[in-house]
Chains A and B, each alone.
Chain A
Amino acid sequence: MIAAIPLLMSSRESLSRIAPAPGAFDGLSLPLAALAFAAALGLAAVLATRSAFARRPAPTWGCGGELTAEAEYTATAFSKPLMLIFGAIYRPTREVSTLETAPYYAREVRYRAEVEPTFERFVYRPATRGVLRLAERMRVIQAGSLHAYLGYVMALVLFLVVLLWWRG
């Protein structure tokens, strides 16, 4: 950092130039950010050169047991914490019913999970319903006679001419 100070002092105006214009609430220069990110990525690649060339493949650790596809974390499991935390909004329902039981274990279960589409129901659906209803109303003037439309255009032009004449 000390090495950069004399250079900075020699070009203070350049430092003021890189700052966003005074009074600006926020400035964003994605090329510059991408450049910084790419440089840092390069540093990471250099630091981990060893790992890029020398690597030993091994099976994924499965807690001592054999790791099968069933043990993989599913999307449902992944989002479960958020589902529980925001349970008041999502109102998740979960239903597990055992279909067949062998002597000790359930052999076949049916699982059903559902999430209440809160935002869909209370935000998006009223909005789309409103727009659709408005569109329904407007269809009356959509599918009319061509002559009437020409009449409307004529009336509009006349109205604008009169307006211009009256105001100017």
Chain B
Amino acid sequence: MSASLFPLPVALFAVAQALGFLLLAPLLRGLIKKMKAAFQLRQGPRLLQPYSDLAKLLRKEPVRSTTASWVFVAGPRVYFASAIAATTLLPTVFAAAPLEAAGGILLLVGLLALGRFALATAALDTGSPFGGMGASREMTVGALAEPALMLALFTAGLSAGSLNLGELVRRTAERGTSIHPGEILAAAALFIVLLAEAGRVPVDNPATHLELTMIHEAMVLEYSGADLALVEWASAVKELLFMTLLAGLFFPIGVATSLAPQALAISALALLAKVFALALMVVLVESTNAKLRFFRVPELMAVALGLGFLALAMRFF
């Protein structure tokens, strides 16, 4: 790659953004846990507990199944890498993504699918029936959530005339505060997808250790130590990524379009506030709903898909 095509500042921007996601994602997890505990009148773990957990897991010796092959080892690494690479594709504080030239919506969805595939095959690798069950369920939920995700993103893409996430946020920010009704539906669809992708309550329960009800946790049951840390960290990054995506595409108020320090500060604060609001919504949904029976999940996903279809159809009127 020639230097003119890949300048150093862009690389630094990409690295800074990826590190920002890595550093803030556990905090989001901690925040959600704390708010959930407050809803249940519990004190809950410390806000910074996820950092301690990750540090502990990274230091610990991993236990590996004697029947596991390299697929099992590669799983968490590919999952982690796909989530981190995906963070460089979306704009956060500044209305441009670091690696905008790499691709847009399709690459983002593809990268996330690659991570899911890696983890599902790794779960099958040990021969554990729970891993297989978790992988099967995860792939099923994924297969149902992905079309809804694509439809919601395409709706945003159609209104902006581009599938590039940076371009998309810039055009949405340019347009100001006017909101097309279709976008509200698309945002709702994306929120449901967020719940499914982050393994949140109506779809999955991130807190449970009941083997038969788990999806994501069942899939990663055989992991321990640093391998588990990678999986947990990447899942947290994925959750933050979906929230940033939702905030950036449908509520782009305050996004900095210039590099003036003031605009950037306002934009950073606005983004934090938006992510906080989304986290609060996730907590509300988690605290007021019971986990759906697995074969009821398709109905929820059908709602997301229907919202996505309606949103897309409304773009043409």
Contacts and interface: CB of A to CB of B under 8 A. Distances in A.
Given A26-B164, A33-B99, A48-B230, A4 B143 contact: no
Contact of A44 (B59, B137, B166, B230): B230
User: Which range holds the interface residue count of chain A?
Assistant: 35 or more
A31 B127 CA distance: 35
A58 B65 contact: yes
Contact of A25 (B14, B15, B63, B163): B163
Contacts of A39: 15, 85
A17 B129 CA distance: 50
B101 A56 contact: no
A41 B77 CA distance: 6
A88 to B, nearest CB: 12
Contact of A60 (B16, B58, B126, B261): B126
A15 B261 CA distance: 17
Interface stretch (A61-69, A121-129, A133-141): A61-69
A78 B167 CA distance: 39
A20 interface: yes
Interface string B117-159: 0000000101111111101110110011000000000000000
A124 to B, nearest CB: 21
Nearest to B18: A40
A44 B9 contact: no
Nearest to A68: B127
B99 to A, nearest CB: 6
Contacts of B254: none
A9 B37 CA distance: 43
A11 B136 contact: no
B224 to A, nearest CB: 9
B317 interface: no
B85 A40 contact: yes
A5 interface: yes
B81 A27 contact: no
A50 interface: yes
A3 B221 CA distance: 39
A26 B106 contact: yes
Contact of B10 (A14, A59, A67, A69): A14
A10 to B, nearest CB: 7
User: Which range holds the interface residue count of chain B?
Assistant: 35 or more
A25 B107 CA distance: 14
B39 interface: no
A82 interface: yes
B72 to A, nearest CB: 10
Interface string B40-67: 0000000000000000001111111111
Contacts of B132: 72-73, 77-78
Interface in B2-35: 4-10, 12-20
A59 B161 contact: no
A50 B59 contact: yes
A85 interface: yes
B251 interface: no
Interface in B83-104: 83-85, 88, 93-94, 96, 99-104
A49 B58 CA distance: 9
Interface string B271-313: 0000000000000000000000011001000000000000000
Contact of A43 (B1, B84, B88, B163): B84
A51 interface: yes
Nearest to A53: B61
Given A27-B103, A37-B81, A51-B225, 18 more contacts: A4-B12, A4-B13, A10-B9, A14-B9, A18-B5, A18-B7, A24-B162, A40-B85, A50-B225, A51-B61, A55-B61, A55-B62, A60-B222, A61-B130, A73-B129, A78-B124, A78-B132, A82-B140
20 contacts: A4-B13, A8-B9, A8-B94, A15-B13, A17-B4, A18-B10, A19-B96, A24-B164, A26-B103, A28-B104, A32-B99, A36-B85, A39-B85, A40-B81, A44-B81, A50-B225, A51-B61, A57-B64, A78-B135, A85-B295
The list of the 4 closest CB pairs from A to B, nearest first, reads A73-B132, A51-B226, A40-B84, A26-B163
